[in-house]
Chains A and B, each alone.
Chain A
């Protein structure tokens, strides 16, 4: 994760990506490396938005005392045209006594400047957004390792659930846990400090409802409502889940590609719906569609309490699945 120390020839660096934490780490790494090499270096950190070209020219100009200089220009995706031109012109003839770091938050704007930088031999630090669960878990493991500890897989899951997807929060939580526990972080240790569910959407609830997890779905529902997810969104997600499961079940094929074409849905959604539809009978799905429609009216003002309406509908749907399902005995543990 840490940026490679700048090679003596690399007087130009580009830090590119949407992930704020990784960007600031990359910049910090460059700063540390420069300071290690030149303890007397002058530091200039500037924001591109509204930066006068004159000020940039000022810091890029040779210093009176000939010291090494580090210039960080943050947020160049918002830079004005003149500033970009000034930076481009500088790239053509970089000063050997100056390290220029250009920070770009990703996206299309001012992308040409990045191309010029790389063409001029700039080292690039990529800081892409971490969106998949696997990457997030890997990030947590790395953080814990960097802090000098180890973490068990179930603890990683529990920590991501409880803290959410924000990398800065995850990083500080991981570091804190290692400091508190010292050594191996396990699920118990996570549970002692972090509890709950940071990111719940209607779909999280719907997923649990469809697999017939009574306890889990009610728990997720309460978390969702506690977090301020709108009732309508939860109801819509449940209706959508049931509808998709019904579509998948009602057609006489289990070929994912064929279903995706027939239903005009992306294959991953079909696959998910197929998993969720397992254990449902046609009759059960029909009843559940009725419950979902009633729920939709309820959350739009028919019921006196939308909270209650949601919980009742979820219990009813889970009951329907348990009593009419294809393998109703196997799931009696729920």
Chain B
């Protein structure tokens, strides 16, 4: 989820700012109408859609179109700054940790109360609004219901069901539902925007199952392809209890490694920056006063830990989604062998067929259930090691 196309760089192609929104003609039409016609505009929007469908990209394009005097031509100063994330009147909240807390939400309310300084709207974009805690959601309720006349909220939530967002928030927003972009549209944008080789782009788009950011990651990063391969090799390797336990170790270890790698790069620099601003290690008068900043460091450590947990969890979650996809393919092949239905992992067709032969439709369905149960368990804070071990044991192939 974190690798969603969040930073649409580059200039706009035909279609102005809307060119970034991949495979969503209905949504684009609706948003364009809102920009063009004040009567079709409203004060709060909720973008929902499956992971990777480009919710935040759509929200940002919408923000750009709102700020642009020409309704989003993609070339003017306003469009460029919004798309680059530097426009003064577009505030973006990206939760790095596990949730958006009440403190952040209050700050959000304060910002939303300002009048636009140069643009036409004061736009507040909240990515992953489903991560707002109940308290945080309650804190922004009043503001979302009746914001100042030139303020507009754009909330994003990774879900097919708007129900995942608290009903109190949802009822105050206009819901925009994005669909999974078609594979060729994703491949097309990879070729056009990122200059990926067409054959690789087609493969990546199909392997990512309509997840734009994931497809780009797979197309550009060799190690991402290796990780995916390791995950998809798991189902056929589960022939004994020892193999199950090893596979669980590998999955959890890979997630931890990714989290460690990502956070190691960030944590050190952040900690140094805070220490420097507190004057740690400095000499001279005022050093004693600086040592009182230990609370800030502790606070930072807490945030970093929360972020590390989230990165690890997201990485594990991606692996689980890939696994579920492979079992889904096996289910499709077992239930409808003659028909050529699209597969989640077309490049692993042979594996899916082998799985279908060994576990049948019912077995595949049970294993999909097990994967989904494991995702739920991880959300419920079960130790990853314990949850994944239970999963791989449940996935074990019959003798």
Contacts and interface: CB of A to CB of B under 8 A. Distances in A.
A227 B374 CA distance: 32
Nearest to B242: A250
A76 interface: no
Interface string B19-37: 0000000000000000000
Interface stretch (B71-79, B304-312, B375-383): B375-383
Contacts of B264: none
Chain B at the A interface: mostly helix, strand, loop or mixed? helix
Contacts of B240: 250
A239 B393 CA distance: 14
B109 interface: no
Interface string A199-242: 00000000000000000000000000000000000001001000
Interface residues of A, number: 21
Interface stretch (A127-135, A152-160, A171-179, A284-292): A284-292
A293 B389 contact: yes
B297 interface: no
Contacts of B389: 243, 289, 293
Interface string A234-261: 0010010001001101110000000000
A13 B357 CA distance: 81
Interface string A129-152: 000000000000000000000000
Most-contacted residue by chain B among A236, A282, A289, A301 (CB, 10 A): A289
A302 interface: yes
Contacts of A296: 377, 382-383, 386-387
B377 A293 contact: yes
A169 interface: no
A250 B245 contact: yes
A289 B382 contact: no
Contacts of B396: 286
Interface in B340-399: 377, 380-383, 385-387, 389-390, 393-394, 396
Contact of B377 (A286, A289, A297): A297
B380 A285 contact: no
| Interface size range of chain B in the complex | 10 to 19
Interface in A81-137: none
Given A297-B377, A297-B382, A300-B382, A286 B241 contact: yes
B383 to A, nearest CB: 6
Nearest to B388: A293
Most-contacted residue by chain B among A236, A246, A250, A293 (CB, 10 A): A293
Contacts of A300: 380-382
Chain A at the B interface: mostly helix, strand, loop or mixed? helix
Contacts of B386: 239, 243, 292-293, 296
A301 B377 contact: no
Nearest to A291: B390
A289 B387 CA distance: 9
Contact of A247 (B245, B382, B383): B245
A250 B241 contact: yes
A251 B382 contact: no
A239 B240 CA distance: 19
Contact of B383 (A239, A251, A301, A302): A239
B241 A249 contact: yes
B371 to A, nearest CB: 13
B242 to A, nearest CB: 4
Contact of A297 (B244, B380, B385): B380
B22 to A, nearest CB: 37
A250 B240 CA distance: 8
A246 B241 contact: yes
A293 B390 contact: yes
Given A300-B380, A300-B382, A301-B380, A282 B241 contact: yes
A285 B390 contact: no
B245 A286 contact: no
Most-contacted residue by chain B among A239, A251, A296 (CB, 10 A): A296
B393 A302 contact: no
Contacts of B383: 236, 239, 296
Contacts of A302: 380
A286 B240 CA distance: 10
Nearest 4 interchain pairs by C-beta: A293-B390, A250-B242, A250-B241, A296-B382
24 contacts: A239-B383, A243-B245, A243-B386, A243-B389, A246-B241, A247-B242, A250-B240, A250-B245, A286-B244, A289-B389, A289-B390, A290-B390, A290-B394, A293-B387, A293-B389, A294-B390, A296-B382, A296-B383, A296-B386, A297-B377, A297-B380, A300-B381, A301-B381, A302-B380
Given A243-B245, A286-B241, 8 more contacts: A239-B383, A249-B241, A250-B240, A250-B245, A286-B396, A297-B377, A297-B382, A300-B380
Interface of A: 236, 239, 243, 246-247, 249-251, 282, 285-286, 289-290, 292-294, 296-297, 300-302
